[in-house]
Structure 1
């Protein structure tokens, strides 16, 4: 006899044992996911039994696939917290894309193993191919690359959707950069290439190099921009170009991530032409402060950054640091506002930050989203943006 019940809403509801059997998992697994807040059953008010529905099969499938691909339970909690149909479709597309990347990785790994095997059988070991195999065996990095790209896209999206002002951040930066008579340009920390999207750029006698320390970001930029640009992956502290090679170097919201600011700025000066220009951006201590405040109002333990990045390199101290390496440093201030009206978009933004919010919120995602919905229900959330661009030269 089947152990499911049919309720007035027409949806089948299963007792824990029947659901576990149909799903091919153990009851212990279901209890574990319940405890973690990943898959919580409803409670029958008449007999207090835990009941699962057909919709829970879909949610469980998402959990199992993401776990199989390599996501941690904390990451899965964020990814499955949205319950609308569009989010479900986006989730399935994400899973499909990541599976395709995994398949490509294992095809490359198989080819590398076969080439190495033939090399050994021929008694002539090709050490370059051996090192390539070792590099592949140390891990595919697909999940970390996805998370880097997804987090950046989420943060950019909030600005694009809810900016009050007429001038977009990237448009504003681009308008400040003097491209005339510049033949070689380097952007450090290019992300997904947002600065260069939808631009009419002449590549005649001009080379533009886009770099990031994340291979995933570089690959995303390549997909977004095509082959007119040159793409590289390297840390800022070790730029693989000869002295005085570039007319322009750009670092958008990048310097505050440096482990060694002194080495990074020395490298930039080294590769920059004597008459070249360095453009770099940062923000002030008041930038997006309202988002930090609303997160802390929910739980005062939340911090949205492991350390205050504006203290490392910000509007308040950036010019002083740059003057050690450049004789002429101009600061141009960018002020704007966001009017955020979607609790789910604000939730996604907060969860994409580099702080402790994931561990603090834990399995309270639904509670946090409800809290944000209540805060935004009347007039939304008005958020102040305060950032700047430093234009640096050696006169």
Structure 2
């Protein structure tokens, strides 16, 4: 029989790529006791201990605190939990990347401003950085497809509206045969992929987005019908088409992300034909309020941007903003209640929300999931308001 191998603390730490101090700390905390001690009382670890250590390190990387790791039956950490934890870490990294992009943009803008001024104006420099930092949450959500995909999935699973947002929106569009259509900020192409059987032949449809990843996502979702669409990366601030090129332009839940909305609306008006239709949608301030309250009750430092988005371009002020560029604006109200009775269904969406939530939950994941699960069990479900508006405007 093969003799069992034991390792000293130093050997054990080196194998795992951690410090001896970490190994000793885990022993002191009771999270990983050595299998044996030699006659001098020194710790000796086995291959079985090494497997336990690798599980601990994996769980730590996936965002669990030491206390959470200690309360988790390591061998019972299920596949679904592992997948959700990996998604959490992916979103954390993506949010950090987006944050760094925003900071870099702020620095470059401030640098350019300083270089073009004869004197250093600290007030102006600080104001530039503050404005860009305040818009961090908006830029994160706009460039990242993970939140959009999770939002679509959440609505598909739990909507109580018989149509659902995308089918309801499509039913309001007056898309005549042979007309040229432009969608600005097409995201993952859900408006079209969910209504593919309703698209009339002869339509010339161009889908654009500022983000290359979004265009790739839309192409993937429409792969079986790609001949019906043109795909192009395009900046809404400088739409790369000639004047009066399109009969219909669509901007679905994206105008509130625009830093210079006047510039974007001017560009849309420019490329829209005379008597053409512009459809755009936005949210009401009550949208997702119950979800925000749920998170704030767990930790009042959590921030989500629904109210901020609706203040910029929402149900209350959208028609007034559009009246500066278009005529005959009509509004269609979409009201829905998401009846969420599955913890994992709502957790996946919450983990995708940009802002500070991932930072707050980074070491409290299991605690937060238990809190959400408890709310669902006590009430049978979590009801979430899903209230949006679609505007239809004309170019006179």
Is 1:162 matched up with 2:162? Answer: no
Seen in structure 2, the aligned counterparts of structure 1 residues 89 and 298 have a Cα distance that, compared at 3 Å, is closer
Q: Which has the higher contact order (CA 8 A, sep 6+)?
A: 2
Give structure 1 stretches of 5+ with no counterpart. 5-14, 35-39, 64-72, 96-143
Q: Which residue of 2 aligns with 1:392?
A: 393
CA distance in 2, matches of 1:45, 1:294: 42
Per-residue deviation, 1:209: 0.6
SS in 1 for 2:350: helix
Alignment counterpart, residue 208 of structure 1, candidates 205, 210, 218:
205
Seen in structure 2, the aligned counterparts of structure 1 residues 189 and 58 have a Cα distance that, compared at 3 Å, is farther
SS in 2 for 1:296: helix
Equivalent residues of 2:278, 2:394 under 8 A apart: yes
Per-residue deviation, 1:92: 8.6
State TM-score, norm by structure 2: 0.69
Q: Which residue of 1 aligns with 2:286?
A: 286
Q: Which residue of 2 aligns with 1:86?
A: 80
State TM-score, norm by structure 1: 0.70
Is 1:382 matched up with 2:383? Answer: yes
CA distance in 2, matches of 1:361, 1:317: 34
SS in 2 for 1:383: strand
Per-residue deviation, 1:201: 5.4
Deviations 1:95-146 (A, max 9, x none): 9xxxxxxxxxxxxxxxxxxxxxxxxxxxxxxxxxxxxxxxxxxxxxxxx99x
Give structure 2 stretches of 5+ with no counterpart. 37-42, 90-139
SS in 1 for 2:144: helix
Deviations 1:241-265 (A, max 9, x none): 0000001100110000001000000
CA distance in 2, matches of 1:154, 1:220: 13
Is 1:27 matched up with 2:23? Answer: no
Q: Which residue of 1 aligns with 2:133?
A: none
SS in 1 for 2:282: strand
CA distance in 2, matches of 1:170, 1:158: 13
Seen in structure 2, the aligned counterparts of structure 1 residues 53 and 285 have a Cα distance that, compared at 3 Å, is farther
Equivalent residues of 1:184, 1:207 under 8 A apart: yes
Q: Which residue of 2 aligns with 1:221?
A: 218
CA distance in 1, matches of 2:271, 2:238: 10
Is 1:177 matched up with 2:166? Answer: no
SS in 1 for 2:346: helix
Per-residue deviation, 1:375: 1.2
Map 1:298-317 → 2, pairs under 5 A: 298-305=298-305, 308-317=308-317
Per-residue deviation, 1:326: 0.8
The more displaced of 286-295 and 335-344 is 335-344
The more displaced of 181-190 and 309-318 is 181-190
CA distance in 2, matches of 1:92, 1:368: 16
